[in-house]
Amino acid sequence: MAIMEIIEAPDPRLKTVSTPVDTFDDQLKILVDDMFETMYDANGIGLAAIQVGIPLRVLVIDLQPEDTDAEPEECDHDHGGDGHSHVHYPLKKEPRIFINPEILDPADEMNTYQEGCLSVPDIYAEVDRPKACRVRWQDLEGNVHEEAMDGLLATCIQHEMDHLNGILFIDHLSRLKRNMALKKLEKARKAA
Protein backbone atom coordinates (compact mmCIF):
# COMPACT_ATOMS: atom_id res chain seq x y z
CA MET A 1 0.00 0.00 0.00
CA ALA A 2 1.10 3.54 -0.61
CA ILE A 3 0.05 7.00 0.42
CA MET A 4 -0.69 9.04 -2.68
CA GLU A 5 -0.48 12.80 -3.12
CA ILE A 6 -3.86 14.53 -2.78
CA ILE A 7 -4.54 17.13 -5.46
CA GLU A 8 -5.79 20.46 -4.12
CA ALA A 9 -7.97 23.21 -5.59
CA PRO A 10 -7.66 25.07 -7.90
CA ASP A 11 -5.79 22.27 -9.74
CA PRO A 12 -7.66 21.89 -13.07
CA ARG A 13 -7.50 18.07 -12.83
CA LEU A 14 -10.22 18.30 -10.17
CA LYS A 15 -12.59 19.47 -12.94
CA THR A 16 -12.15 16.22 -14.88
CA VAL A 17 -15.21 14.07 -15.54
CA SER A 18 -13.96 10.62 -14.55
CA THR A 19 -14.28 7.57 -16.79
CA PRO A 20 -16.25 4.41 -15.88
CA VAL A 21 -14.24 1.39 -14.74
CA ASP A 22 -14.57 -1.56 -17.14
CA THR A 23 -11.71 -3.78 -15.93
CA PHE A 24 -12.08 -5.31 -12.48
CA ASP A 25 -8.52 -6.48 -11.98
CA ASP A 26 -5.73 -6.47 -9.38
CA GLN A 27 -4.72 -2.98 -10.41
CA LEU A 28 -8.14 -1.70 -9.34
CA LYS A 29 -7.73 -3.44 -5.96
CA ILE A 30 -4.32 -1.80 -5.49
CA LEU A 31 -5.77 1.61 -6.36
CA VAL A 32 -8.57 1.14 -3.80
CA ASP A 33 -6.08 0.01 -1.10
CA ASP A 34 -3.90 3.03 -1.77
CA MET A 35 -6.93 5.34 -1.69
CA PHE A 36 -7.96 4.00 1.73
CA GLU A 37 -4.44 4.41 3.07
CA THR A 38 -4.28 7.96 1.70
CA MET A 39 -7.72 8.85 3.11
CA TYR A 40 -7.00 7.45 6.61
CA ASP A 41 -3.62 9.17 6.66
CA ALA A 42 -5.33 12.51 5.90
CA ASN A 43 -8.14 11.89 8.42
CA GLY A 44 -10.79 12.02 5.71
CA ILE A 45 -14.07 10.14 5.51
CA GLY A 46 -14.28 9.96 1.71
CA LEU A 47 -11.98 10.09 -1.30
CA ALA A 48 -12.53 10.01 -5.06
CA ALA A 49 -9.85 8.60 -7.38
CA ILE A 50 -9.47 11.94 -9.19
CA GLN A 51 -8.30 13.46 -5.90
CA VAL A 52 -5.18 11.32 -6.25
CA GLY A 53 -4.97 12.08 -9.97
CA ILE A 54 -6.69 8.95 -11.32
CA PRO A 55 -9.70 9.87 -13.51
CA LEU A 56 -11.74 6.71 -12.83
CA ARG A 57 -15.22 6.43 -11.29
CA VAL A 58 -13.97 5.00 -7.99
CA LEU A 59 -14.86 6.21 -4.47
CA VAL A 60 -13.89 5.06 -1.02
CA ILE A 61 -15.80 6.09 2.10
CA ASP A 62 -15.36 5.29 5.78
CA LEU A 63 -17.46 7.31 8.20
CA GLN A 64 -15.46 5.69 11.04
CA PRO A 65 -18.26 5.68 13.62
CA GLU A 66 -17.46 5.42 17.32
CA ASP A 67 -17.48 1.81 18.50
CA THR A 68 -19.88 2.11 21.43
CA ASP A 69 -19.47 -1.61 22.24
CA ALA A 70 -15.80 -1.03 23.05
CA GLU A 71 -14.23 0.37 26.23
CA PRO A 72 -14.44 4.18 26.30
CA GLU A 73 -11.09 5.90 25.99
CA GLU A 74 -9.66 8.58 28.23
CA CYS A 75 -9.96 11.95 26.54
CA ASP A 76 -6.47 13.39 26.21
CA HIS A 77 -6.92 16.15 23.67
CA ASP A 78 -8.10 19.71 24.03
CA HIS A 79 -11.51 20.59 22.65
CA GLY A 80 -10.76 24.28 22.42
CA GLY A 81 -10.72 24.68 26.17
CA ASP A 82 -14.49 24.53 26.54
CA GLY A 83 -14.04 22.82 29.91
CA HIS A 84 -16.44 19.97 29.13
CA SER A 85 -15.45 16.42 29.82
CA HIS A 86 -15.75 14.01 26.93
CA VAL A 87 -16.06 10.29 26.65
CA HIS A 88 -14.51 8.83 23.55
CA TYR A 89 -14.99 5.46 22.04
CA PRO A 90 -12.39 4.07 19.66
CA LEU A 91 -13.30 4.57 16.02
CA LYS A 92 -14.58 1.58 14.13
CA LYS A 93 -13.40 1.00 10.58
CA GLU A 94 -16.25 0.58 8.11
CA PRO A 95 -14.59 0.79 4.70
CA ARG A 96 -16.99 1.10 1.75
CA ILE A 97 -15.97 0.86 -1.90
CA PHE A 98 -18.09 2.27 -4.73
CA ILE A 99 -17.12 1.59 -8.35
CA ASN A 100 -19.18 3.32 -11.07
CA PRO A 101 -21.70 4.70 -8.54
CA GLU A 102 -24.99 6.26 -9.60
CA ILE A 103 -27.42 8.31 -7.52
CA LEU A 104 -31.06 7.24 -7.96
CA ASP A 105 -34.21 8.90 -6.61
CA PRO A 106 -32.73 11.82 -4.69
CA ALA A 107 -35.22 12.95 -2.02
CA ASP A 108 -37.02 16.29 -2.42
CA GLU A 109 -36.28 17.06 1.19
CA MET A 110 -32.88 18.68 1.71
CA ASN A 111 -30.31 18.40 4.47
CA THR A 112 -27.60 20.91 5.34
CA TYR A 113 -24.17 19.76 6.44
CA GLN A 114 -20.99 21.64 7.19
CA GLU A 115 -18.77 20.07 4.53
CA GLY A 116 -15.04 19.95 4.05
CA CYS A 117 -12.82 18.24 1.50
CA LEU A 118 -9.27 16.88 1.45
CA SER A 119 -8.78 18.79 -1.82
CA VAL A 120 -9.91 22.06 -0.20
CA PRO A 121 -8.04 21.80 3.13
CA ASP A 122 -9.20 23.71 6.19
CA ILE A 123 -12.20 25.24 4.41
CA TYR A 124 -15.66 24.35 5.70
CA ALA A 125 -19.05 25.54 4.48
CA GLU A 126 -22.68 24.56 4.70
CA VAL A 127 -24.02 22.79 1.61
CA ASP A 128 -27.64 21.71 0.95
CA ARG A 129 -28.15 18.30 -0.63
CA PRO A 130 -31.02 15.81 -0.90
CA LYS A 131 -31.50 14.22 2.51
CA ALA A 132 -31.67 10.68 1.14
CA CYS A 133 -31.08 8.79 -2.08
CA ARG A 134 -30.63 5.33 -3.49
CA VAL A 135 -27.19 4.43 -4.75
CA ARG A 136 -26.30 1.77 -7.29
CA TRP A 137 -22.66 0.76 -7.66
CA GLN A 138 -20.31 -2.08 -8.46
CA ASP A 139 -17.87 -3.79 -6.11
CA LEU A 140 -14.28 -4.84 -6.84
CA GLU A 141 -15.53 -7.96 -8.64
CA GLY A 142 -17.97 -6.00 -10.78
CA ASN A 143 -21.11 -7.19 -8.93
CA VAL A 144 -23.93 -4.63 -8.84
CA HIS A 145 -25.36 -3.43 -5.50
CA GLU A 146 -28.13 -1.02 -4.61
CA GLU A 147 -28.87 0.57 -1.23
CA ALA A 148 -30.99 3.36 0.25
CA MET A 149 -28.84 5.90 2.09
CA ASP A 150 -29.56 8.82 4.37
CA GLY A 151 -27.81 11.00 6.96
CA LEU A 152 -24.09 11.58 6.71
CA LEU A 153 -23.61 8.65 4.31
CA ALA A 154 -26.06 10.19 1.80
CA THR A 155 -24.29 13.55 2.05
CA CYS A 156 -20.84 11.99 1.78
CA ILE A 157 -21.66 9.88 -1.26
CA GLN A 158 -23.21 12.86 -3.05
CA HIS A 159 -20.11 14.96 -2.26
CA GLU A 160 -17.86 12.19 -3.60
CA MET A 161 -20.09 11.64 -6.67
CA ASP A 162 -19.62 15.33 -7.46
CA HIS A 163 -15.85 14.74 -7.64
CA LEU A 164 -16.42 12.15 -10.37
CA ASN A 165 -18.21 14.86 -12.34
CA GLY A 166 -15.54 17.50 -11.76
CA ILE A 167 -17.45 19.39 -9.06
CA LEU A 168 -16.15 20.53 -5.66
CA PHE A 169 -18.35 21.37 -2.67
CA ILE A 170 -17.29 25.01 -2.95
CA ASP A 171 -18.90 25.03 -6.43
CA HIS A 172 -22.24 24.83 -4.58
CA LEU A 173 -21.51 28.15 -2.82
CA SER A 174 -22.16 31.64 -4.11
CA ARG A 175 -19.37 33.00 -6.29
CA LEU A 176 -18.43 35.44 -3.52
CA LYS A 177 -18.10 32.69 -0.91
CA ARG A 178 -16.24 30.42 -3.33
CA ASN A 179 -13.73 33.13 -4.18
CA MET A 180 -13.24 33.86 -0.48
CA ALA A 181 -12.57 30.16 0.14
CA LEU A 182 -10.06 29.95 -2.75
CA LYS A 183 -8.27 33.10 -1.54
CA LYS A 184 -8.03 31.69 1.98
CA LEU A 185 -6.61 28.47 0.55
CA GLU A 186 -4.00 30.35 -1.51
CA LYS A 187 -2.99 32.42 1.51
CA ALA A 188 -2.59 29.33 3.70
CA ARG A 189 -0.51 27.65 0.99
CA LYS A 190 1.80 30.67 0.72
CA ALA A 191 2.21 30.80 4.49
CA ALA A 192 3.14 27.12 4.65
Active site residues: 160
CA distances 12 to 42, 80, 112, 115, 142, Å, are: 21, 36, 27, 21, 30
For Ni ion, the closer CB: 28 or 115: 115
For Ni ion, the closer CB: 58 or 117: 117
Please report how close the Cβ of residue 22 comes to Ni ion at its closest, in angstroms.
24
Residue 41: count other Cβ atoms within 10 Å of its Cβ. Answer: 11
Please report how close the Cβ of residue 63 comes to Ni ion at its closest, in angstroms.
14
Q: Please identify, among the stretches 11-19, 52-60, 87-95, 113-121, the one whose residues bind Ni ion according to the rule CB under 5 A.
A: 113-121
Task: Decide if residue 125 touches Ni ion (CB under 5 A).
Answer: no
- Closest CB to Ni ion belongs to which residue? 117
Task: Decide if residue 103 touches Ni ion (CB under 5 A).
Answer: no
Output b/e per residue, 49-63; b: 16+ Cβ within 10 A: bbbbebebbbbbbbb
Cα–Cα dist 23/18, whole Å: 15
Task: Decide if residue 117 touches Ni ion (CB under 5 A).
Answer: yes
Cα atoms in the 13 Å half-sphere on the side-chain side of 96? 22
Binding positions for Ni ion, rule: CB under 5 A: 117
